[in-house]
Amino acid sequence: MAGTTPTQRTLKALQANGFKCAVVEKWVPLSSEGTAGSFAAANFKKAGGYRKDAFGFIDILVLDGKPGCLAVQACGATGFAEHLRKIDSIEEVRDWLAAGNRLELWSWRKEKVEGRERWRAKVAPLAEKDGRILTAYQIAALDDLLC
């Protein structure tokens, strides 16, 4: 899927597994003056607008048959650490998780598989541990250190 966004790739993968999904990330065009607030103007002044996630961290809502609602943030592989830091800084993430919902960070990169390039997602379930939002792998590593 050349030219597609990480959100589009994630949506396609989720729907292929039979899940019901809703994209909640929105495109916000810049005003005629060329600004959409200081944050947007300083950070996203390209192509005439910027993308805005629901609650600042949700690209896609997913009904996957498990308890609670799954929220997914999608990004390119090089943006994984930056997105994880951003998610950790948003208080609504803690409210989301405390309500029994779930959150995953999907990062996409191209890999060579049998001589062909394919898009692959790294899917990282996120949870709160000691006031921080971490991947399941980070939590397991911390737990191992504490044992």
Residue 77 falls inside a structural domain? yes
Residue 63 falls inside a structural domain? yes
DSSP string, the chain: -TT--HHHHHHHHHHHTT-EEEE--EEEEPPTTS-SSHHHHHH--BTTEEEE-BTTTBSEEEE-SSSS-EEEEEEEGGGHHHHHHHHHT-HHHHHHHHTT-EEEEEEEEEEEETTEEEEEEEEEEEEEETTEEEEHHHHHHHHHHH-
Average pLDDT over residues 34-59: 70
Residue 125 falls inside a structural domain? yes
Average pLDDT over residues 64-92: 96
Residue 44 falls inside a structural domain? no
Q: How confident is the model at residue 32 (pLDDT cuts 50, 70, 90)?
A: low
Q: How confident is the model at residue 145 (pLDDT cuts 50, 70, 90)?
A: low
Structural domain count, the chain: 1
pLDDT at position 105, please?
97
pLDDT at position 33, please?
52
Domain containing 17: what range?
6-24+56-146
Domain of 88, CATH number, reads 3.40.1350
Residue 51 falls inside a structural domain? no
Over the stretch 123-142, which tens digit does the pLDDT of each residue have?
A: 999 999 989 999 988 888 87
